[in-house]
Amino acid sequence: MKTLTLKNKFQTNATLLPNDFIDNYMIDANGEFVKVYLFLLRHLDDPCSSLTLATIADCLNNTEKDILRAFRYWEKKGLLRAERDSEGKITALELQKTPAAEQKNSASIQAGQTVGQSISTDTQNSGAGAGSLSAKKAVPLDVFRAQKEIKSLLFIAEQYLGKTLTHTEMETITYFYDTLHMSADLIEYLIESCAENGHKSMHYIRKVAFSWAEEGISTVSQAKEHSALYSHSCYTVLNAFGIKNRGPASSELAFIKKWSEEYAFSSDIIAEACRRTIAATHQPSFEYADSILTKWHEKNIRHLKDIASLDEEYLKERSSGRTSVKPKTAAKNLNNFERRRYDMESLEEQLLNSN
């Protein structure tokens, strides 16, 4: 009998996703973390694959810090093991099997078998006992998971803040988790973003956490959008005012939020108001800029061309002679002239007396 030659034209270019991942891990994970896991799974059996942190970040349209955050998440979940060099940089990744998921599946199968055997009275009692045992295990499992996440957060916080946490600082982070109901990912991003911006004080971090809670920020993506808006708005104003080497004070930040959020002005309109403030007062004045922007808000200004139209209207009114500023200006100039004359006489008298 001749040997048969098999030819395969079937497309086998596919990635196998374990059901355990879908059933037990995907639901609780951040969507960006799931993308990273699937990307790693896709390249797991590719012999030609040569991945770097930058490559993964570019492919997933993310930052390298986001990718590292995903690695740490899957490490905590036991699905990933990272090998690091002496400097702490990742050199290799290994996807792990999930014994916890296997135990959950095994428990589910046993529970299903118990229900299936509940035809007789004895098996019904046995099934009730199994159900009670399962209920008793659910609460400690949640507690254990929370304790594990908090412990991981405390470790991460010490790395970002560069010090050993005090008891009060540990309680603060626990408060974020238990009372403010912030997820572990959000707390990690909170500490990371504050530390990278030079704010390692827990007092400052707490203020940001309360601000996020008040504004309903509950995910990392929402926090990133908020931070981007805040940074852009603040930079626009501080740069237009020529303020360097410091952030906005609380009163100044209130003005910036009012202009960008309540008035919903674009950055170019806010910058124009700041420019006119400097031209008029020769110094940064949030109050003066606020008066300009409030007027524009009342006039329903939305674009720079609207400001130009408003300026033209004002010049037409002024050229038509409907203004009454000349008498006031003359009186002001007269007062200034008298004051300067008095000062000069006083100066001459002092010079004469000194001689």
pLDDT digits (tens, 9 = 90+) for 113-168: 443 443 333 434 444 443 433 333 444 566 777 788 888 899 999 999 999 999 99
Strand spans (E) along the chain: 80-84, 90-95
Give how far Cα 62 sits from Cα of 82, 190, 192, Å.
20, 18, 16
- The mean per-residue pLDDT over the stretch 339-353 comes to 46
| Amino acid letter, 226 | H
State which H helix or E strand residue 170 sits in. Answer: helix 167-178
Q: Which position has the token pair 């530390």?
A: 195
Report percent pLDDT > 70 for the chain: 72
Identify the residue with better confidence: 28 or 181. Answer: 181
Pick from 72, 84, 87: nearest CA to 188: 72
In a domain, residue 111? The reply is: no
Task: Tell me the per-residue pLDDT of 22-57, one tens digit each, with 9 for 90 and over.
Answer: 888 888 888 888 899 898 888 876 655 677 888 888
Identify the residue with better confidence: 61 or 48. Answer: 61
Per-residue burial over 328-345, b if 16 or more Cβ lie within 10 Å, else e, is eeeeeeeeeeeeeeeeee
Give how far Cα 299 sits from Cα of 71, 176, 227, 291, 349, Å.
51, 43, 30, 12, 54
Residue 112 has pLDDT above 80, yes or no: no
Query: Are both 37 and 88 inside the same structural domain?
Result: yes
**How far, in Å, CA of 257 to CA of 309, rounded?**
26
Structural domain boundaries, residue 193: 136-218
Residue 65 has pLDDT above 50, yes or no: yes
Query: Are both 183 and 262 inside the same structural domain?
Result: no
Q: What is the pLDDT of residue 321?
A: 64
In a domain, residue 115? The reply is: no
Assign 98 a pLDDT band (cuts: 50, 70, 90): low
In a domain, residue 147? The reply is: yes
Six-digit token pair at 222?
Answer: 């929402």
Q: Are 240 and 269 in contact (CB under 8 A)?
A: no
Query: Are both 210 and 235 inside the same structural domain?
Result: no
Assign 355 a pLDDT band (cuts: 50, 70, 90): very low
Query: Are both 72 and 56 inside the same structural domain?
Result: yes
User: CB neighbours (10 Å) of residue 62?
Assistant: 16
Query: Are both 241 and 181 inside the same structural domain?
Result: no
- Count CA within 13 A, CB hemisphere, residue 48: 0
Q: Which position has the token pair 């909170």?
A: 190
Identify the residue with better confidence: 254 or 285. Answer: 285
Instruction: Count structural domains, the chain.
Output: 3
Average confidence score pLDDT of the chain:
76
Report percent pLDDT > 90 for the chain: 21
* Listed range (46-55, 78-87, 253-262) with the worst mean pLDDT: 46-55
Assign 235 a pLDDT band (cuts: 50, 70, 90): confident
Which of these three, 163, 186, 218, is where a domain ends? 218
**How far, in Å, CA of 103 to CA of 105, rounded?**
5
Pick from 91, 36, 25: nearest CA to 61: 36
DSSP state, 6?
Answer: P
**How far, in Å, CA of 331 to CA of 49, rounded?**
82
- The mean per-residue pLDDT over the stretch 87-113 comes to 61
Six-digit token pair at 304?
Answer: 């720079």
Q: Which position has the token pair 């309360």?
A: 210
Q: What is the pLDDT of residue 280?
A: 92
Residue 65 burial (C-beta neighbours within 10 Å; 0-12, 13-18, 19+): middle
* Listed range (64-68, 265-269, 281-285, 318-322) with the worst mean pLDDT: 318-322
**How far, in Å, CA of 164 to CA of 155, rounded?**
9
Query: Are both 160 and 189 inside the same structural domain?
Result: yes
Query: Are both 152 and 231 inside the same structural domain?
Result: no
Task: Tell me the per-residue pLDDT of 194-220, one tens digit each, with 9 for 90 and over.
Answer: 888 788 999 989 988 998 898 889 999
In a domain, residue 125? The reply is: no
Task: Tell me the per-residue pLDDT of 239-248, one tens digit each, with 9 for 90 and over.
Answer: 889 888 777 7
Q: What CATH number corresponds to the domain at position 29? A: 1.10.10.10
- The mean per-residue pLDDT over the stretch 309-313 comes to 88
